[in-house]
Chain A
Amino acid sequence: MLILTCPCCGVTAEETEFAAGGEAHVKRFGPGASDEEFRDYIFARENPKGVHFERWRHANGCGKWFHAARCTITLEVFGTYSAQTTTPPKAICAAITAKRPGWTWRDFA
């Protein structure tokens, strides 16, 4: 079971208090995006064994969205951070590097 900490209200709870919102940092191209770019925006998702970035919502709590970086193998959560960003903050990346040296995820490393 995942244990997440909501960065908006500071509550630490297990995943049943939250709602999963799919992959994080999905980029929409445009205007004038190619068919391939639009297809990938709609359908192409990572399915990593290891480091992953997701969106979550504190559905049964403060109701706010946030981002989480976690490991899909161990369910370890490296950190949670604001929803109002398009890239993971440096502190989160550093926390992942400390535990999973050499990790990559999409364009991030």
Chain B
Amino acid sequence: MPEPMNAPISAPISALPGARFDGLAHIEEAGLQGMITLRGDLASKPVKAAVTAATGAKLPALRQGTQGKSGMALWMSPDELLLLCPYGEVGAVLDKVNAALGDAPALAVNVSDARALFSVSGLGAREVLGKLCPVDLSPEAFTPGMIRRTRMAQIAAAFWMEPDQSFRVICFRSVAAYAFDLLKDAARPGASVGVY
């Protein structure tokens, strides 16, 4: 018997569970990731305290990400950060963030389910993203720890580089399938350009 339309969803599910592709680079949907958008004056004490409370990381510099004990803080714009934490702990982390913010004019929102996350790794990773984004991805220009918000073909996306030189790509969940197809197409075997 089919479940009624208003039945509660039993467990959270990521955008494209198990989606993966091996080509010039290894592309994989990275599953559920806790994400909190934090907007406010990045130079203010309460925002710095909130970042530390949520992730254990320092406030990231312009277009950089910082790794903490329990998560990551990523620079999104002059007044916006993205905080990463385990998916199951978002509620608790959000409480910590709000406690640290106090009465400061700032906003923290759980956006975990609004986004999709992919990992792009392997030797061709720079080239795969370079085909899709108007970004200089040469090893001199784009280094581990950097984050870049940009355009991936027709959609907005952001990516940062992990210490092992693999990329993490986020986009809106509603365009996850499009983003995965783009990455897959760019990583098709035999489609190597050899720039990076």
Contact = CB atoms under 8 A, between A and B. Distances in A.
Interface string B142-182: 00000011110000100000000000000000000000000
B149 A61 contact: yes
A22 to B, nearest CB: 21
Contact of A62 (B78, B134, B135, B151): B78
Given A14-B134, A17-B134, A9 B77 contact: yes
Given A16-B151, A17-B134, A64 B62 contact: no
A9 B156 CA distance: 16
Contacts of A61: 77, 149-150
Contacts of B148: 11
B150 A17 contact: yes
Contacts of B134: 13-14, 16-17
Contacts, number: 36
B150 A9 contact: no
A9 B148 CA distance: 10
A60 B151 contact: yes
A62 B77 contact: yes
Interface in A50-95: 59-64
Interface residues of B, number: 13
Interface residues of A, number: 14
Contact of A64 (B78, B135, B150, B156): B78
Which of B62, B76, B77, B148: most chain A CB closer than 10 A? B77
Contact of A8 (B77, B135, B150): B77
Contacts of A63: 77, 80
B96 interface: no
A79 to B, nearest CB: 19
A21 to B, nearest CB: 17
B135 A13 contact: yes
A60 B62 contact: no
Interface of A: 8-11, 13-14, 16-17, 59-64
Given A13-B135, A14-B134, A60-B150, 13 more contacts: A9-B62, A9-B63, A13-B150, A17-B134, A17-B150, A60-B151, A61-B149, A62-B76, A62-B77, A62-B80, A62-B149, A64-B77, A64-B78
Interface of B: 62-63, 76-78, 80, 134-135, 148-151, 156
